[in-house]
Amino acid sequence: MNHTPTPHIEAKLGEIAKTVIMAGDPLRAKFMAEKYLDNPLQYNNVRGMLGYTGTYKGKKVSVQGHGMGIPSIGIYTYELFNFYEVDTIIRVGSAGAIDDSLNIGDIVLGMGACTNSNYAKQYNLSGTFAPIADFELLSQAAAEAQKRGFTYKVGNLYSSDTFYDDNTEALRGWQKMGVLAVEMEAPALYMNAARAGKKALCICTISDCPFKNIATTSEERQTGFTNMMEVALALL
């Protein structure tokens, strides 16, 4: 049975590439499509969650928004993996620095994703699942960032269900455990990939440093983080 179009993506089967680069902000996806892709065609505008397919250096690729939070990326990546026959999803997102050595614009490659989310409960596992990236994608991304001279770190992300946490000291606990940065989506991406037998990687750019009280603007987050986009595109 063909499940496409889905309730959230209006593309027909075959209109989305095997590799999709995703951003929480659909306008970042639009920026990527217009800046990097040859002949990008828009395949989705349902709920304003823009998606485009084009080519990059002759290789077919799609870029797609996924919204904010684990429930939202969970929906979009599930549909892409299971209904559109996508093999690889790379998230290019923003994150807040937890590790004191990270600064605005640095790249974090999410080897694993700690979380306060209950997303894994649906699998009825007898223990705690550890959401991790695909090693081949991770190692290639690290090599690419190194080759380009980008400042980056590889390690754990903390993915929170709350942007405004009532516990204002919550990040300090994760800092003690060596977690690098906080974002809101990676575990659902990694779990959906694991369940579907597919590949996934979360690449983040530091957009704010909560402990240093510095942050970028929304416009800078939308169009300024091109280093991580170029790393992601190099993995095609």
Which of the residues are catalytic?
A: 208
Alpha-carbon gap, residue 23 to 32, rounded angstroms: 10
Q: Are 202 and 183 in contact (CB under 8 A)?
A: yes
Give the count of alpha carbons within 13 A of 219, CB side only: 0
Q: Could you tell me the end-to-end alpha-carbon distance of the chain, in angstroms, rounded to an integer? A: 29
| Neighbour tally for 99: CB within 10 Å | 19
Q: Buried b / exposed e across 186-221, counting CB within 10 Å, b at 16+?
A: bbbbbbbbbebebbbbbbbbbbbbeeeeebbeeeeb
| 3-state helix/strand/coil string of 12-27 | CCCCCCCEEEEECCHH
